[in-house]
Structure 1
Amino acid sequence: MTTHKVLVLGAGYAGTAAAIQLAARTKGRDDVEVTLVNAHETFTERLRLHLTATGQQVAELSIPELLDGTGARFVRGWVTALDPGTRTVRVDDRVLHYDTLVYALGGVADTVIVPGVEEHAHTLNSPEDAEVLAGRLARLEQGTVVVTGNGLTGVESAAEIAEQHPRLRVVLLGRREPGAAMNRKARAHLQAALGRLGVEVRTGAEVTKVLPDAVELAGGETIPADVVLWTSGTRAAPLAAAAGLAVDDRGRVITDATLRSVSHPNVHAVGDAAAISQGYGVLHGTCQSGMPTGVHAAVSILRALAGKEPKPFRFGYYHTPVSLGRHDAVVQFTHPDDSPRRICLTGGPAARYKEAVTASPWPTYLRMKKMPASGAFWPRGGRFTRGVR
C-alpha cells in the first residue's frame, strides 16, 4: 500500500488548523501521513505579541503536545528550500519528501520598502522580536516611541505601550486616521481611547526613512525617536518565489478557488502566505480568515484523495476586535466583505469579547483534534462566515 505524504510548512493559525484537521480525519489510516514543520515547538500567538512586547506574560502552548495522539508527526526546524520538481523540502540539514504540500509560512513586516527599517526599527514578527522590544522599553527611563502604521497592529501596540509605560511619549504615525474602516461610533471610541492613554496620533504621515534616533517623513520633517516599532505593511517569505511558484507582488502564493497554487496544483497555500481572491477582493491576513483556509485545504486534500473534486473556498468576515490596553477595546461587527455594520461593542464588554476571541484558537484546535473523522467543522456548504481574528 502506498502512503500519501502530506507536508504542512508552518504552524501558525492556518497551518496548525490544516494539520489538525488532516490528522483528525485520517486517524487510524495507514494510507495518509501528516507531518507539520515549524521552527519552534511553541505556538506563536500573534494576537498577543503586543503583550509580550510590553513585558507581560503569555501562556506557552506546545505544538507537539497538541499533536500528541493524532498520528501527525512534528518536525522542528527552519525551512530553507523548496523544490516542487522533486517534491522535496529542505529543513535545516534534512530533506523531507511530500506528495501534497500545504504552504503556510505566513507573513512578516515589510522592512525593505523604506530605508533604515531593517537596521533601526523593531518588529513583531516573532516572540523573540517582541521580547527584544520589551527589554528596550523597560530600559528607557523617558523618551519617545514611534509606532509606524495605524492599522490594527499599530493601534493595539501603541495603546499597550502607552498604558504599560506611561512615562514614555508614544507617537502613532499613519496615512489614514486610526479606525478609518469602522463606523462613526467605533472610530470615535478608538480615537478617544488613544487620547486618554496619551498616544499622539499623526495622520497623513508617510515615513520615508528610519534613522538611528528619528524617523523622516515625506516633506523633510523628522520626529526624534528612541524606539521605532514598524507595523506598516507585510510580505511573505521568499521561498515560494524562489521555488518558481506563481506569487503576487508581496510574495504570496496565488491560488485558485480551492486554495491550490495556480502553477503547482499539488501545493495548497493558506493564511498570510496565500493570495486568495474572493468576490470582494483578496483576503487580508487575520486569524479570522487564516484558520478557515487551513480547514478548507485539509478537506480539499482529502476530497482529492477520495477521487472527489475540491469545493471552492468562500469566506465572509464577521468582526474586527481591537484591544486598547487591558481594560478597553472596540469590536466592529462587519458585513462579509469587511465593511462595517451599524453594530459595535466598546469599553469593558468589548475588552472581554476581545480576550475571548484571542484565547479561542487553542480550544478550537483541541475540539478539532477530538472530532470524528466524518465530522463537520465550521458552517456547511463550504462557506466560512465566522471565525476568530
Structure 2
Amino acid sequence: MQQRTQHRIIVLGAGYTGATAAGRLAKRLHRDDVAITLVNAEPDFVERVRLHQLAAGQDLRPRPFGEMFAGTGVGLKLGKVTGIDVDRRTVCLTEADGGAAELEYDTLVYALGSGWNDHGVPGVAEHAHEVASRPGALRLRARLAGLAAGRQVVVVGGGLTGLEAATEIAEARPDLDVALAVRGALGDGLSPKGRAHLHKVFDRLGITVHEHTAVTAVEADRVTTADGATVPAAVTVWTTGFAVHPVASASALEVSATGRIVVDPTMRSVSHPDVYAIGDAAMAMGPGGKPLRMSCASGTPTAWQAADAIAARLTGAKVPDTPIRYFNQCISLGRGEGLIQYVTADDRAVSAALTGRLAALYKELVCKAAAWAVAHPTLGLPTRRRRLVADPARAGAASPAPASA
C-alpha cells in the first residue's frame, strides 16, 4: 500500500489570528494526515491589545508557545519571514542565529499582521514612539520611566489605540502633561453617550485635546501642525493607523493598494487558492461590502473562517458559510474606566453604550478571554479529527470555491 503523504500547512505569524488558526486546524484535522508548522519571530505570544499597558509600566504575563501548543501537534519554527514564492510554494526565513531557511507548503495561512504606519510624515520614524509592537512598547516604557515630572507627552491619533494609550499614560503618570492630537473631533464615530463619557474621562485625567489638528512633522521636542503651530512634546506617541507587512506585496499574490491580500469570504486568496490570509493582512469584506477594519475583533473570526474552510476542503466536507459581523467596540480608558460602544453589523455606532467601571471590567474580560483562547487553542472544539481526502498534497489547491462558500 502506498504510504500516505502528510499535507504541509504553514501558518505565518503567531499573533491572535495565526495562533488561533493553527490550534483550530490541529483540532479539526487528523495528526497523521497533516504537518502544521507555526512560524513566528518570537518564542512567546504577545497580547497586542495590552501593549499600551506595557508601555505605561505594567508587566504582562509571559505566554510561551512551547507551553501553549504542547501536545497539540503544532510545530513551532522561530524565524523572520523574508519572502514567499507562491509558484514554488516556499517560504524563506531568517532564523534566530542569522541563518537562512526555506520551508515548503501545500497550504499557506498568511497571518503576519501589521505594524505602525508613519504615513511618510517627516520625523516620525526618527523621533516618535509606537505601541503596535512589543519592542516599540518597551522602548516607550523606558522613555516614559526616565521622564521628569511636568514633561509633555503628545499622543497623535484619535482611534482606539490613541485613546487607550493617552488615558493609560495619563493615569499611570499623573505628573506628566499628556495631550492628544486628533484630525477630527474627540470620539468621532462614537455615539453621543460614548463621546460624552470620553470627554468626562479625559477631563478627569487632565488630558489636553487638540481637535481638528493634523500633525505634519515630528521633532525631538515638539510636533508641528498643518496650520504651522507647534506643540511641545518631550515624547511623541504615533497611533495613526497600521500598515501591513510588505512581504505579500512583494510576491505574486493579488493585493490591495495598501498591500493586504485580497481574499474571498472564506479568507482564500483570489489569485492563489492554496494561500489563505487572515487578520490585518487580509482584504476581507464584511457586512455592507465594507472592508473589515484592522483589529482583534476582525482577526479572530477570520482565523476561525479560514481554519474551518481549510479543514472542510481537505476532508471533503461542506465549506461553512458564516458571515463576519461586529457587535461592539471595546475601549479601555485606564484600569478603572472603559467604554463599550455598541455598533451595527457593519461597525457603525448605535445610541447604546456601556461606560465606567463596568465597561472596564467588560473590556478586561474580553482581553482575558482572547488570550485564554490563544493559550488553549484546541479546547472547546469537537474532539473528532477528520481524515483527509485522497491526494491530500493537492487538496489545498483545488478549484476555487463556489461563490456561496
User: How high is the TM-score relative to the length of structure 1?
Assistant: 0.93
Partner of 2:343: 334
2:172 to 147, 164, 173: 164
**Is 1:303 aligned to 2:312, yes or no?**
yes
How far off is 1:210 after superposition?
1.2
> What secondary structure does 1:369 align onto?
coil
1:274 match: 282
Does structure 1 residue 197 correspond to structure 2 residue 199?
no
Q: What's the CA shift for 1:308?
A: 4.5
Structure 1 residues 341-350 or 357-366, which shifts more? Answer: 357-366
Once the two structures are TM-superposed, the CA of residue 278 in structure 1 deviates from its matched residue by: 2.1
The alignment yields a C-alpha RMSD, in angstroms, of 1.5
| Aligned pairs (5 A) from 1:194-343 | 194-280=202-288, 281-308=290-317, 310-312=319-321, 314-343=323-352
Letter in 2 for 1:131: L
Q: Supply the distance in 2 between the matched residues of 1:119 and 1:293 (Cα, whole angstroms).
A: 34
Question: Over residues 266-315 of structure 1, what are the superposed CA-to-partner deviations in whole Å (9 max), with x where a residue is unaligned?
Answer: 11000011110123200001111211111111111111112346344521
Once residues 132 and 352 of structure 2 are traced to their aligned partners in structure 1, the CA distance between those partners, rounded to angstroms, is 32
Which residues in structure 2 correspond to 1:129-140 (within 5 Å)? 129-140=136-147
**2:9 equivalent in structure 1:** 6
What's the counterpart of residue 380 of structure 1? none
> Aligned equivalents of 1:80 and 1:356: distance in 2?
36
Q: Tell me, what secondary structure is at the counterpart of 1:16?
A: helix
Does residue 35 in structure 1 map to residue 17 in structure 2? no
**SS of equivalent residue, structure 2 residue 378:** helix
Indicate if the aligned counterparts of 1:112 and 1:118 stay in contact, CA closer than 8 A.
Answer: no
Residue 48 of structure 2 corresponds to: 46
Deviations 1:66-105 (A, max 9, x none): 1111111011111111111111111211111100100000
The answer to whether the 8 Å contact 2:287/2:345 transfers is no
Paired residues, number? 374
Of 91-100 and 339-348, deviating more is 339-348
Whole-angstrom CA distance in 2 between matches of 1:368 and 1:221: 50
- SS of match in other structure, 2:36: strand
SS of residue in 2 equivalent to 1:162:
helix
**How many percent identity over aligned positions?**
43
| Runs of 4+ in structure 1 over 4 Å off | none
The whole-number CA distance in structure 1 between the counterparts of 2:346 and 2:337 is 26
Unaligned runs of 5+ in 2: 95-99, 386-405
Query: For 1:150, which of 141, 152, 158 is the aligned residue?
Result: 158
The SS at the match of 1:282 is coil
Q: Considering only CA atoms, is the larger Rg found in Structure 1 or Structure 2?
A: 2
- Look up the match of 1:72: 74
| Cα distance change on mapping 1:313 and 1:271 into 2, 3 Å | farther
CA deviations on 1:306-328 (whole Å, 9 max, x unpaired) are 23463445211011111111111
Q: What SS is found at the alignment partner of 1:94?
A: strand
State the TM-score, normalizing by the size of structure 2: 0.89
State the AA in 1 paired with 2:314: L
